[in-house]
Structure 1
Amino acid sequence: MVTSLLYVLALNIYVYFKQEYLMMSNASDFAVQKQHQQYSIVEYIGYNGGGTCGYCHKEEANPTNIGMWARSLSVSHYNELLDRGIRRSGKYLYKPMIANTCCPQYTIRLDVNSFRLSRAQKKVLRRMNDFLQKDVRPNERQKITEYNVVKKKTERSTISSNSQVKRVQDNEEKIPLELRKKGRKKKVLRQERAFQKMRDKGINIMEAQRIRREKEESRRRTLNSFIITYSPETFKHKLEVRLVDVNSSQFYETFQESFKLYEKYQTTVHHNASCNRNGYRVFLADSPLFSDEKGGSKSMALGSYHQQYYLDGRLIAVGVVDVLPRCLSAKYLYYDPDYEFLTLGTYTALREIAFTQELAKERPQLHYYYMGFYIHSCQKMRYKKCFRPSDLLCDRSFTWVPLEKCLEMMERYGERIEAFAPDAPVAENCPIESVRCLYKMNILSYQILLNLPDFKETETFMEEYARIVGPVAREMLLYRN
C-alpha cells in the first residue's frame, strides 16, 4: 500500500506538472496519430523523499525513493516495472531505495494457483458468512468474558511457572541426556513402526504417502468454497462486489460516494483531516495505464479498476487494483470503520486472490497476486506474510525468492537485505545509448539524440534511468525537452 507521504508527494508533483501537461498531451497525440499506436511516455523526476517516514514516523535525512511521472503506460510495461521494484501512486512511479530508507520495502507476490488458506483466514471468511446469513456480530459481553478467562489463566500459569522454573533449573542437569531426548524420539519411533508394518505387508511406503497426501488435499477446503451465493430467503444481508473501470461512466457516477467513504476512512483510521476530492482523484482515480493486449476476445480488458463492496446497497469498502498481463496488483484499500469487526482488510485481500484465480482460467499466465511492499519492521504490514506461498523480490538480481528464506535472512542479518539471491547474476540493464526518447515529437534513441545540433545535454540522470528501468527502457519513451 502507498503511504500518506507518497500521497502528498504525488499531489505536489501533479500541481508542478500542470503546465507540462499540455506539452505532454501534444506528445501523446503525436504518438496516437502515428499508425494509431499508443506509447508509454514517462518523464524522469529523480530522487524524492526525506522528511517523516510514513511507516515508523521517524525523520529521514536522505532521499528514500526514485521517481518518474507517467503520461501514459502500457499494462505490459508496468508489469515489467513491477518486477524491478517500481510501483505507481496515481501517475507517479517510484522505486524505494533500500539502502536509504529507515523501513526497507520489498515487493511481495503470491502465486494464487498454490495458495493455501490458513486457519485465521478461514475464520475471517466464516465470520463474514455468519454475518451475511445470520447477522452474527461480535458480542461485547462475550469478549469481556473471554478476556477475563484468559487473564485468570495467564495469572495462574505465571504463578505456577515462577515456582516451577527454579525446580526445572535445579533438576535439569540431573536428568540424563538420553531421557531428555526420549520425548523427541517418540514420534520418530511411532513413524518407524508404522513403516515397518507396511514393509511386512509388502506396501510401497512412498506410494502410500502419496495417496495419503492426495486424500488430505481433496479434503482441503478451497477459497472459492467459502464464497457463498446470496439467497433472499435465507440471508440477512446481501454483499455485492462490483468491478468498475476507472475510465467508465459507472466510475464517475460513483465517484462522490467513493470519495466520501475514503474521507471517512482517512479521518477515522489515519486521523488525516486534509482530504479533498482533487487529492483523492490524483492518488486513487488517475491512472496512466492502457491495454496493449492483442485481440479483444477476453471477457474484460486489462487496466485499472476499483473493486467496490456494497452491503445492502451501501458502499463499505473499495479495493484499488491493476489487472496486468501476469498479475493482479493490489494498490490500496479503504473501508467503512463501522464494519471493522468484519476484518475487511483480510477479507477483501482473499476476495482479490479469488478474483485472480478466476482471471487465471482465461489468462493462464495471470496467476500472481502482488500485495505491494512487505516491510518487516512495520507491524501493520506483517499480515502479508500470512498469505502463502509468497515470494520477495531480490533488489539486485530482480529474481523472486521464497518468503521463508528471506525471513530467515532478515532475522539473521537484519531487515536491510539488498540481495536475497546473492549468487544470482546482477539484473540486465539497458545500455544508455539504446534508451528510447521522445524529443520535439520525434522518437529516437539517446545515441541519435546526442548528435542532434539543437540538443545540448544538461542532465546527468540517463545512466540512472537506464539502470532503474532496465531493458524496457528500449521500448518506453523517455520525454526530453
Structure 2
Amino acid sequence: MDLEEHEGEELAYIKSTRCGYCHQQKPVEKSWALESVSKLMKDKGYCNSSSITFDGEELSFQRYEQLIKQGWRRSGSFMYKPDLLRSCCRQYTIRTNYEMFVDDKYYNKSNKKSIRRFYKAMEMGINTATGSLLDMYTQKDKKGRFFSVLLPNSFTMDKFQLFKRYQMSIHKEKESEINEYSFYNFLCNDPFPEVTKRREYVDWKKVNQQWTSGEIGKELLDLQGPVHECYFIDNKLVAIAVLDILPTTISSVYFIWDPDYAHLGLGTVSAIREIVMTKLLEKDHYYMGFYIPDCEKMVYKAKFGGEIRNFADDESLEWVKMLDVDHLMKDGLLRVFAKTQDGEKLAEVTEKMYGVEGCRDAEALDSFRVISKTCIFPTPSIIPGLDTSSL
C-alpha cells in the first residue's frame, strides 16, 4: 500500500520498549526478525516493538476494511500497523471463513468437543452429535441457559466490571491500572462517524429479534459497524465479543469473559460462533487480529485455519494458507513466501527481500537501532506491506 493512500492522515513511526506479547523474555537473538539482522545487531540489545500509526478520527467502514487487509488494526480510534521487520514479535494478519475452517479440516475432534461441551452444559436441547455448525447457531431453544444479544458499542458499568475482572485475572493487571476511561477508549470508542448516523436507522429490537430467533433478515444483514455481542448465562453477563461488522468482513477486536466460567472454553466457542456468524451474515472473511507463531497467548488462532497476509512482491500471493506455511513459522522469524517457477509450490524469500547481509546503507542499518525509551522514530525506508518512499 502506497503512502498516497494515507493522504490527510498524519503518520507516526513509534518504537516502544514494551511488548505485551513477549514482555522482552525471548532469547535476545530470537527477538530479531531475520538471521541477518540478528547477526548485525549482536550484542546491541533486545529488539524494540515498532509500529506505524495514525489517529483514525474519521474512517468509513469501507476504508477500515481496506486497511485491515493491509495489516492495520485499531485500538479504539488509534490505528497501528506493526513493522514485521523491526519488532520483537512478528504479528501476521490472519483471517478465515466457514469454508476454510470446515473444508481444510480445522473443524476437528478438538473443536467439535469444545462446541459440544458448551451446548451440553447450556442445556440447549440441540443434537450436537449429528447437527451441523449452522444448525447449532440458528436452532434456538428458549429453555436453554445461554443466549446472546447484539448491542451498540456503548459504555455500561456491567461491561466495565466484567472487563476489569477479566484484565485482572487473565492479564494480571493491577486494579489501579484499570479505569472507566481506559475501557471506554479501548472498547467503546471508534473511528467511524457512521456510527452516529446509524442511530437514526438501526432498529436494535428488530436486529435482536432476528438474532435470537435464528431467522436472519434484512435488518441483521444490513447492520454495519462496531457491536458488542453480549453473552448471558442464567441471565448473567459472562462475556463480550467486541466485533466490527464491515461491508464484506467481520473483524474481531477483543473478547472478554468471566473467569468463573473458564471451564466452558468461551474463547474457542466464541471464535467458532463468529466463523459461523460470518457465513450467516453473508460476509467473505472473519478477521481474527494478529497471529504470532511463537507466542503462547496467540498460537491458539492457528486451530481455526484460514490464511495469513503475505507481504511479497507477487500480488497474486497476498494471502497464504495456514495449511501450507504454519509448520515453517514456529521459530518466530519473519516469513515471506513466493511461488516457485512452476507455480506449484511456495518458496521462502524473506532474506532475499528484506535481509541486510552486505547492506551498506547507513540509514537503513540505523533503522534497527535499539532505543531505551519509547519515542517517535524516523520512518524506515522499507516496511513490509507499506511503501514509505513518499514520506
TM-score by length of 1: 0.56
Q: Does structure 1 retain, via aligned residues, the 8 Å contact 2:310–2:337?
A: yes
The CA distance in 2 between the partners of 1:262 and 1:339, in whole Å, is 14
The structural deviation recorded for 1:291 is 4.8
Q: Unpaired runs of 5+ in structure 1?
A: 1-39, 136-218, 361-365, 427-458
2:230 to 308, 325, 338: 308
Q: Unpaired runs of 5+ in structure 2?
A: 1-5, 26-45, 203-217, 344-348, 350-376
For 1:409, the aligned partner's letter is: L
| Aligned CA distance change for structure 1 residues 77 and 282 (closer, same or farther; 3 Å) | same
Deviations 1:336-362 (A, max 9, x none): 0000000010011111112111111xx
For 1:286, the aligned partner's letter is: N
The structural deviation recorded for 1:301 is 2.6
Deviations 1:349-402 (A, max 9, x none): 111112111111xxxxx22011111100012211111113x1010123470111
Q: Which residue of 1 aligns with 2:179?
A: 276
Deviations 1:106-157 (A, max 9, x none): 000002234312211111111112211199xxxxxxxxxxxxxxxxxxxxxx
Q: Which residue of 1 aligns with 2:281?
A: 359
Q: Does structure 2 retain, via aligned residues, the 8 Å contact 1:50–1:64?
A: yes
Root mean square deviation of aligned Cα: 3.4
Deviations 1:413-453 (A, max 9, x none): x43235223679x9xxxxxxxxxxxxxxxxxxxxxxxxxxx
1:394 aligns with 2:302: no
For 1:52, the aligned partner's letter is: R
Q: Does structure 2 retain, via aligned residues, the 8 Å contact 1:113–1:367?
A: no
Higher relative helix content: 1
| Aligned CA distance change for structure 1 residues 256 and 395 (closer, same or farther; 3 Å) | same
Deviations 1:200-236 (A, max 9, x none): xxxxxxxxxxxxxxxxxxx98521233452243xx4x
Q: Does structure 1 retain, via aligned residues, the 8 Å contact 2:229–2:243?
A: yes
1:406 aligns with 2:322: no
Q: Which residue of 2 aligns with 1:30?
A: none
Q: Which residue of 2 aligns with 1:417?
A: 334
1:289 to 192, 213, 219: 192
The CA distance in 2 between the partners of 1:108 and 1:371, in whole Å, is 6
For 1:285, the aligned partner's letter is: C
For 2:18, the aligned partner's letter is: T
The structural deviation recorded for 1:61 is 4.7
The CA distance in 2 between the partners of 1:391 and 1:93, in whole Å, is 22
1:47 to 2, 13, 18: 13
Q: Does structure 1 retain, via aligned residues, the 8 Å contact 2:13–2:378?
A: no
The CA distance in 2 between the partners of 1:42 and 1:125, in whole Å, is 46
Deviations 1:310-344 (A, max 9, x none): 11211000011101112100010010000000001
Secondary structure of 1:272's aligned partner: coil
Greater C-alpha Rg: 1
Q: Which residue of 1 aligns with 2:134?
A: 224
Q: Does structure 2 retain, via aligned residues, the 8 Å contact 1:302–1:325?
A: yes
Q: Which residue of 2 aligns with 1:100?
A: 86
- Percent of pairs with identical residues: 30
Q: Which residue of 2 aligns with 1:348?
A: 270
Q: Does structure 1 retain, via aligned residues, the 8 Å contact 2:47–2:87?
A: no
Q: Which runs of 4+ in 1 moved over 6 A?
A: 459-465
Secondary structure of 1:85's aligned partner: coil
The CA distance in 1 between the partners of 2:387 and 2:79, in whole Å, is 11
The CA distance in 1 between the partners of 2:279 and 2:261, in whole Å, is 26
1:244 aligns with 2:151: yes
Deviations 1:159-208 (A, max 9, x none): xxxxxxxxxxxxxxxxxxxxxxxxxxxxxxxxxxxxxxxxxxxxxxxxxx
Q: Which residue of 2 aligns with 1:79?
A: 65
The CA distance in 1 between the partners of 2:124 and 2:319, in whole Å, is 43
| Aligned CA distance change for structure 1 residues 62 and 422 (closer, same or farther; 3 Å) | farther
The CA distance in 1 between the partners of 2:167 and 2:325, in whole Å, is 32
The structural deviation recorded for 1:45 is 4.0
Alignment length, in residue pairs?
Answer: 298
Q: Does structure 2 retain, via aligned residues, the 8 Å contact 1:124–1:346?
A: yes
Which residues in structure 2 correspond to 1:2-151 (within 5 Å)?
43-58=9-24, 60-116=46-102, 117-133=107-123
Q: Which residue of 2 aligns with 1:259?
A: 160
Instruction: State the structure with bigger RCO (CA 8 A, min sep 6), 1 or 2.
Output: 2
Q: Does structure 2 retain, via aligned residues, the 8 Å contact 1:125–1:226?
A: no
| Aligned CA distance change for structure 1 residues 265 and 42 (closer, same or farther; 3 Å) | farther
Q: Does structure 2 retain, via aligned residues, the 8 Å contact 1:75–1:290?
A: no
For 1:223, the aligned partner's letter is: L
